[in-house]
Chain A
Amino acid sequence: MRGFGPRLGLAILAAFCLLALAAPLLPLRDPAAQPDGLVLRSLPPWTRVDAVRLRDGSLRYAHEVRVEADGGRSLRRGDAWTRIAPEAVAQDHPDAHPLFVLGTDAYGRDLASRLVWGARVSLAAGILAAAMAVALGGVIGLTAGLAGGAVDETLMRITDAALSIPRLFLLVLLAALFRPSLGTIVLLIGSTTWMPAARLVRAEAQSARARDFVAAARALGCSPLRIAARHVLPHATTVLGVEAALRLGQSVLVEASLSFLGLGVPPPLASWGSLIADGRDRILDAWWIAAWPGIAIVLVVVAASLVADGVREGL
C-alpha cells in the first residue's frame, strides 16, 4: 500500500481487528456485567470511582469510602451506609480507584469493554458479509460476462432490479421473518449487496473474453470453469479488491442499522449498532453511550474507503 491515506486506513482496520480478536485476552471488565447499577450508572468518560477490594478479589463500588479505626470500611451508596468488616477487606491495596476510560452505560456496564467486544460482532458481520457479497457477485458477474447472450441479459436484468430495491426496507422485513443470528445477518446482508461486484466483474470478464489468451486457452481445450477461474478471474482481482474494501465498510453500516432497529444479532451479543440503540434514550443526559460506537463505525468505514483507494491505485 502506497501513500499516507491507504496506510492509515490499513492501520486503523488492523488495529480494530486486533482489538476484536484479542478481546478475551485483554484486561477488560466483563462487557455484560452490571456490578453496581447505582454507583456506576451513566458515568461520564474518564471517571474514577471509589471502591474497596474484598478478600476474594472482587470490588465493592461506592460514592464515598470511609476507613474505620478497626481497619474495616464504611461505604456510602446513595444515602445508605454499609459497613464491611476488617476481615472481609483485602490485605494489600484494599482501596481501589478504578478508572472507566469511556464511561459507563445506564446499567453501569463498562463502555470501553462493550466497544471492544462489540467490535467482534460488527467486524465479523462486516467482513463475512463483504466476503459473501464479493463471492456471490463475482460468480454472477463471471457467468454473465463469459456466457453472454440470454444468460447475460437475464442476470443483468436481475442485477438492475435488485439494485433498485431500497435495501433496508427489504432487510427489515427479512430480519423480522428469519430469527436473527450472526449467521442469518451475514446471509441477509451478503445476499442483498452482491450487485456492484457482479457488474464490475462482468465488465472485466467481457473485456478479457475478447482477448487472445482466452481464445488460446479455449483452443487448448480448457473447460469453461478453468478459463473463468485461471484466465479471467485474475483480471478482476483489482476491482474485486476495491469492492471488497468498500463493501466491508458498507456492511458494517448496514449491520449497524439493523442492530440499531433491534433486528440485528440478539443479546447477549452486542454490536456497535445495538450499543448506539442503548444510548438512544439517554442521548440527552449521557451522550457518550451513543457517541463512542458511532465514532468507531465512522473510523472503520473511512478506513475501508481509504484502503479501497489504495487498492485502486495499485498495491
Chain B
Amino acid sequence: MAGLILRRVLFSIPLLLGVSTLTFLLVEAAPGKPVDYLLGDHPVPPETRARIEAAYGLDRPAWARYATWMGRAVTGDLGWSLSRSRPVTRVLADALPATVGLAALALAIQLVAGVALGALHVARPRGAADHTLTFLGLAAASAPPFWLGLMAILLFAVVVPIFPPSSSHAIDASSWPLPARIADALWHASLPALVLGLGSAGIVARFVRAGLLRSLGQGFVVAARARGGTPARILVAHAGPAAAGPVITLVGLQLPMLVSGALVIEVVFGWPGMGRVAYDAVMAQDLPVALAAVLLATFLVVLGSLGADLAQAALDPRLRGRG
C-alpha cells in the first residue's frame, strides 16, 4: 500500500512538471504580450512600457522567468493574481473546497445511481424500467453538462421550485449556526451535483451491469447459491465486490471529465469553485491564476486516481501484495 502511494506520488511529479512546462510554453507561444493586457488599448510611451516590463520581470528571457516561476511554485508561491490583487495561492485555496465538495457529491451520486441502475438491469433485465433508464442514461451522457444544468434550473428550480436556482448559500447564511450552514451549502450543491453526477451515471451503470453479469457466472457465486444464499445476498456480498474493480477503474479514468464538467457547471450555477475562478481569470486575462488552476485541477485528478487505486487495493486482496 505504501509502495503504491509512493509510486503514484513519484509519477505525479514529472506529470505536474510536464503540465507546467507545457502551459508555460503555450503561454509564451501565444500572440500578444502580458504587458498589452495590462495596458489595454491605451497608447503608452515606450519608456513606461519598459518600466512596467522591468517591474514584472517581463524583460528577462522566457527560460529565466520559467525557472523563477518554478522555483517559487515549489515553495507554494504561485504568483500574484492581476485581476484580484491577491496571491494566486489564496485565490485558489478559497475556491478549492467548493470544487472538491461539489465533485465529491457528484461522484457519490454517480456511483449510487450507476450501481442502482446496473443492479436493476441484472435483477430485472429487459423490463420497461430498465429500457427507459438505459435510454435516459445514454441521453444524459450525450448532453452537454452546461445545457443539462440550464434545463435542470428551468425545470427543478423555476417550473417546479424544489431546488435553489443558483449560488452557493442562502443570502443570510453567514449568521446561521455551523450545522445549518453546512446543510444549506449541501442543499445549494445538490442540483449542480445531481446534474454533474447523473450525466455519467449511465456509463457507470454499463460497467456495473457487465461486471455483475460476468461475476454471476463464476464458481464462487454458483457455490454461494448452492449453499442457499438469497439472490440479494449473492448480489451484495459475492458478485458485487467482484464486479467493483472495473467500475472503480472507470471512475478513476472519468475523473478528468468530472473536473472539466465541474468547470462549466460552476459557471452555469454560479458556484464559487476553481472552475469559476479559472474561467473568470481567463476572461480577465489573469494568466497566473489560469495557469495555476490548470495545474491544481491536474493535481486533483492525480489525487483522485490515487484514491481509486487505493480503493481497488482495499477491495481486491490480490492487488495488496504488489507494490
Contact = CB atoms under 8 A, between A and B. Distances in A.
B139 A170 contact: no
Interface of A: 157-158, 160-161, 163-170, 172-179, 249, 253, 256-257, 260-263, 273, 276, 279-280, 283-284, 287, 290-291, 293-294, 297-298, 301-302, 305
B264 A257 contact: yes
B167 interface: no
B143 A298 contact: yes
Contacts of A256: 144, 147
Contact of B298 (A166, A172, A294): A166
B111 interface: no
B196 interface: no
Given A168-B263, A176-B283, A276 B144 contact: yes
B260 interface: yes
B146 A257 contact: yes
A163 B32 CA distance: 29
B191 to A, nearest CB: 14
B271 to A, nearest CB: 15
Contacts of B282: 172-173, 175-176, 263
Given A166-B294, A294-B151, 14 more contacts: A164-B302, A166-B256, A168-B260, A169-B263, A169-B275, A176-B283, A177-B27, A177-B30, A261-B264, A273-B144, A283-B150, A284-B154, A290-B151, A302-B142
Contacts of A262: 283
A125 to B, nearest CB: 14
B153 A169 contact: no
A283 B283 CA distance: 23
B150 A170 contact: no
B129 to A, nearest CB: 20
A263 to B, nearest CB: 7
Contacts of A169: 259-260, 263, 275, 278, 293-294, 297-298
B256, B291, B305: which has the most chain A beta carbons within 10 Å?
A: B256
Nearest to B290: A173
Contact of A284 (B158, B259, B278): B158
Contacts of A287: 154
B116 to A, nearest CB: 22
B142 A290 contact: no
Nearest to A161: B15
B138, B259, B282: which has the most chain A beta carbons within 10 Å?
A: B282
A164 B150 contact: no
Nearest to A158: B18
A297 B147 contact: yes
21 contacts: A166-B259, A168-B275, A169-B263, A169-B278, A169-B298, A172-B282, A173-B26, A176-B283, A177-B26, A177-B32, A257-B144, A257-B145, A257-B264, A260-B146, A290-B150, A294-B144, A294-B150, A297-B142, A298-B139, A298-B142, A305-B138
A167 to B, nearest CB: 5
B260 A167 contact: yes
B19 interface: yes
Contacts of B297: 165-166, 169
B26 A297 contact: no
Contacts of B302: 164
A260 B275 CA distance: 14
Interface in B132-181: 138-139, 142-147, 150-151, 153-154, 158
Interface in B246-261: 253, 255-257, 259-261
A43 to B, nearest CB: 18
B263 A174 contact: no
Given A166-B263, A260-B264, A302-B142, A172 B278 contact: yes
B96 to A, nearest CB: 14
Contacts of B263: 166, 168-169, 172
B69 interface: no
Contacts of B23: 170, 173
Contact of B290 (A163, A172, A305): A172
B259 A161 contact: no
A296 to B, nearest CB: 10
B276 to A, nearest CB: 11
A161 B282 CA distance: 23
Nearest to A253: B144
Contacts of A165: 19, 256, 294, 297-298, 301
A305 B142 CA distance: 9
B18, B23, B142, B150: which has the most chain A beta carbons within 10 Å?
A: B142
B259 to A, nearest CB: 4
A160, A161, A262, A263: which has the most chain B beta carbons within 10 Å?
A: A161
B16 to A, nearest CB: 9
A154 to B, nearest CB: 11
B297 to A, nearest CB: 4
A202 to B, nearest CB: 17
B190 interface: no
Contacts of B127: none
A155 B256 CA distance: 20
